[in-house]
Chains A and B, each alone.
Chain A
Amino acid sequence: MNANHPDLKRMTPPKLSLGDRLYVPQVIAGLAVTARHMAGVVFGDSAITVQYPEDQHIPSPNYRGVHRLNKDESGRVKCVACMLCSTACPAHCIDIVGTTAPETELWGDREKYPASFVIDELRCIFCGMCEEACPVEAIELTGLYDLTGLSREQMIFDKTKLLSVFDLTKDAEPMRYGSPPSRPTSSTELVRDSI
């Protein structure tokens, strides 16, 4: 394509009027905008700040926070140890040891279950791939965002901890139950309990 090709569009910079080139009217208009915002915060209540930790931010339903392992009606872990989530995980932070389900009455209809299910929450990038890969909706990302711990070991969540996240959030998950949490739950409490 040469320089005078008819399809080439020529762009000219917009012509500035005298007022634009003087800057001053534009600057004053800009000052008016910020003044409106400042007045809104000082005299009105247009500030969008959430006073954490007194007020808790409620994330949107599809927020991707700490994982949980779901339980079924009889209280068993839903996971069937198919390894799809750990295969899908781009951060390689899920470690599952599957084992044959015991032939008791409780586990009679299941072939496998995870003997150990560990997620390294520090390595996780909270992409949600595990959630999407799971064929039985056993692993889910909850709305808990304040994930803190005192050591790296504390941040490696094992099966018990992941199941307790389910107990903590099962009534609070707006995604599933359609109602916002009655009181904000905190995963910090969780970590503290299990030191």
Chain B
Amino acid sequence: MWAIIGIVLKIGVVVGLMQGTVAYLILVERKVAAYAQDRIGPNRAGRHLTLPFGIKINLPFGLLQPIADGAKMVLKEDVVPTYVDKPLYILAPMIAIIAATLGFAVVPFGPVGPGQVMQFQIAPGVDIGIVYVFAIGSLAVYGVVLAGYASNNKYSFLGGLRSSAQLISYEVPLGMSILGMVLLAGSLDLGKIMAWQDQHVWGIVAQPIGFLLFLVSGFAETNRLPFDLPESEQELVGGFHTEYSAMKFGMFFLGEYMHVITVSYLTVILFLGGWDFPGLSVEQTGLLSAILKVLVTAGKVSFMIFLIMWIRWTLPRFRYDQLMDLAWKSLVPLALVNLVATAGIIQLIRG
């Protein structure tokens, strides 16, 4: 009984935190975009604020902008064009956001394992951890494809087509890029992979090529620039979400940012040591060390998210043929070579 309440509480806290973080990530994204373009970005919301009892505060950096954005999303007219395939049209954004939320269930955001004060994972002890994330992650493509199909609009349809081809292509190197780490750690459990990195070296040192492959494929999986071909505002006027407005559009947006968070967590867990930091080790199981580990992970994840945004505002979009070339002619062979080499070396060393 108590265990169930605990789990429900944990789900509530994590999902709530995720949504809040996503809201603020949109602000961060806008700020990063502005800075990269020599602008200042949103800086008004939250200025000269009068709270109840006449308390006046002055929040910098437009810190209340997410509230304004959210209110805008909710209050806008929700247009459903007459020519759409209604059930699918409504289902698509839900799939997008549900898949993005579910994917996070097995991602450990702090220390996990026997003896810890608390399992910092919604569903601890799932042996197939990483495989589950990928399986759910691939479901997200249904959101995009169905949105493109149900919109009954050529631009959206092209966006959906591109998305299906892109996601299927990049699933392959994405899956293979982590196999090196899985072989090294000898487990699919993300907690064990972090523990291995704590005892040996970070994944980025042990598997530099794997890291690069994962990063590139991860970008493609999240539909972020330079791989945002399904949306491409300039050619496809928004692609799969052309026909969506108000909160339905917002749900795609939330889904995308949650995906970014999940991919950042995975990168940190698989290749940047997770909670590993000089002075922290698997043996520590106290409350203080647990909090420290959560913070360290969150810090690394923040950096990864910033990197993803930074790259978005640096690189132009790939052309479609370049995208496919990159996946099938470079990433897949490279991933195979990497996998075979890793397996060979492990075999030689361990005998």
Asked if A184 lies at the interface with its beta carbon under 8 angstroms from chain B, I say no
Q: Are A34 and B38 in contact (CB under 8 A)?
A: no
Asked if A24 lies at the interface with its beta carbon under 8 angstroms from chain B, I say yes
Q: Are B37 and A37 in contact (CB under 8 A)?
A: yes
* Interchain nearest-CB distance for A33 vs B (Å): 7
Closest to B316 in A: A30
Q: Are A27 and B311 in contact (CB under 8 A)?
A: yes
Residues of B within 8 A of A11 (CB): none
Q: Are A37 and B35 in contact (CB under 8 A)?
A: yes
Closest to A47 in B: B40
Q: Are B36 and A34 in contact (CB under 8 A)?
A: yes
Asked if B310 lies at the interface with its beta carbon under 8 angstroms from chain A, I say yes
Selecting from A38-46, A96-104, A128-136, the interface stretch reads A38-46
Residues of B within 8 A of A48 (CB): 38-39
Q: Known: A37-B35, A41-B35. Is A24-B40 also a contact (CB below 8 A)? A: no
**Interface residues in A11-63 (C-beta closer than 8 Å to B):** 24, 27, 30-31, 33-35, 37-38, 40-42, 46-49
**Interface residues in B303-351 (C-beta closer than 8 Å to A):** 310-311, 313-315
Residues of B within 8 A of A38 (CB): 32, 35-36, 310
Q: Are B315 and A27 in contact (CB under 8 A)?
A: yes
Residues of A within 8 A of B39 (CB): 41, 47-49
Q: Are B212 and A34 in contact (CB under 8 A)?
A: no
Ranked nearest first, the 4 interchain pairs of A and B with the lowest CB-CB distance are A38-B35, A49-B40, A41-B35, A30-B314
Residues of B within 8 A of A35 (CB): 310
- Distance in angstroms between the alpha carbons of A24 and B36 in the assembled complex: 20
Listed by A's residue number, 8 A-B pairs whose Cβ atoms lie within 8 Å are A27-B311, A27-B314, A31-B311, A34-B314, A37-B36, A42-B35, A46-B38, A47-B39
- Distance in angstroms between the alpha carbons of A48 and B35 in the assembled complex: 10
- Distance in angstroms between the alpha carbons of A46 and B314 in the assembled complex: 18
The interface size of chain A toward B, counting residues with CB under 8 Å, comes to 16
Q: Are B212 and A24 in contact (CB under 8 A)?
A: yes
Residues of B within 8 A of A33 (CB): 314
* Interchain nearest-CB distance for B33 vs A (Å): 10
Partner-A contacts on B (CB < 8 A)? 32, 34-40, 212, 310-311, 313-315
Q: Are A34 and B40 in contact (CB under 8 A)?
A: no
* Interchain nearest-CB distance for A13 vs B (Å): 13
* Interchain nearest-CB distance for B318 vs A (Å): 10
Select one of B34, B38, B212, B311 contacting A40, CB under 8 A: B38
- Distance in angstroms between the alpha carbons of A34 and B315 in the assembled complex: 10
Closest to A30 in B: B314
Closest to B39 in A: A49
Q: Are A47 and B315 in contact (CB under 8 A)?
A: no
- Distance in angstroms between the alpha carbons of A118 and B38 in the assembled complex: 42
- Which secondary structure characterizes the binding site on chain A? helix
Residues of A within 8 A of B37 (CB): 37
Closest to A46 in B: B38
- Distance in angstroms between the alpha carbons of A24 and B39 in the assembled complex: 27
- Distance in angstroms between the alpha carbons of A190 and B40 in the assembled complex: 31
Max chain A Cβ within 10 angstroms of own Cβ: one of B32, B35, B310, B311: B35
Residues of A within 8 A of B310 (CB): 31, 34-35, 38
- Distance in angstroms between the alpha carbons of A104 and B229 in the assembled complex: 73
Residues of B within 8 A of A47 (CB): 38-40
- Distance in angstroms between the alpha carbons of A46 and B35 in the assembled complex: 9
**Interface residues in A74-92 (C-beta closer than 8 Å to B):** none
- Distance in angstroms between the alpha carbons of A38 and B212 in the assembled complex: 24
Residues of A within 8 A of B35 (CB): 37-38, 41-42
- Distance in angstroms between the alpha carbons of A2 and B314 in the assembled complex: 43
Closest to B212 in A: A24
Max chain B Cβ within 10 angstroms of own Cβ: one of A33, A34, A46: A34
Residues of A within 8 A of B314 (CB): 27, 30-31, 33-34
Residues of B within 8 A of A24 (CB): 212
Residues of B within 8 A of A34 (CB): 36, 310, 313-314
- Distance in angstroms between the alpha carbons of A142 and B41 in the assembled complex: 30
Q: Known: A27-B311, A30-B315. Is A37-B212 also a contact (CB below 8 A)? A: no
Extra A-B contacts (13), CB below 8 Å, given A24-B212, A37-B37: A27-B311, A30-B314, A30-B315, A34-B313, A37-B35, A37-B36, A38-B32, A38-B36, A41-B34, A41-B35, A41-B38, A41-B39, A49-B40
- Distance in angstroms between the alpha carbons of A27 and B315 in the assembled complex: 7
- Distance in angstroms between the alpha carbons of A38 and B314 in the assembled complex: 11
Residues of B within 8 A of A37 (CB): 35-38
- Distance in angstroms between the alpha carbons of A84 and B41 in the assembled complex: 46
Residues of A within 8 A of B313 (CB): 34
* Interchain nearest-CB distance for B327 vs A (Å): 13
Residues of B within 8 A of A42 (CB): 35
* Interchain nearest-CB distance for B37 vs A (Å): 7
Residues of A within 8 A of B311 (CB): 27, 31
Residues of B within 8 A of A41 (CB): 34-35, 38-40
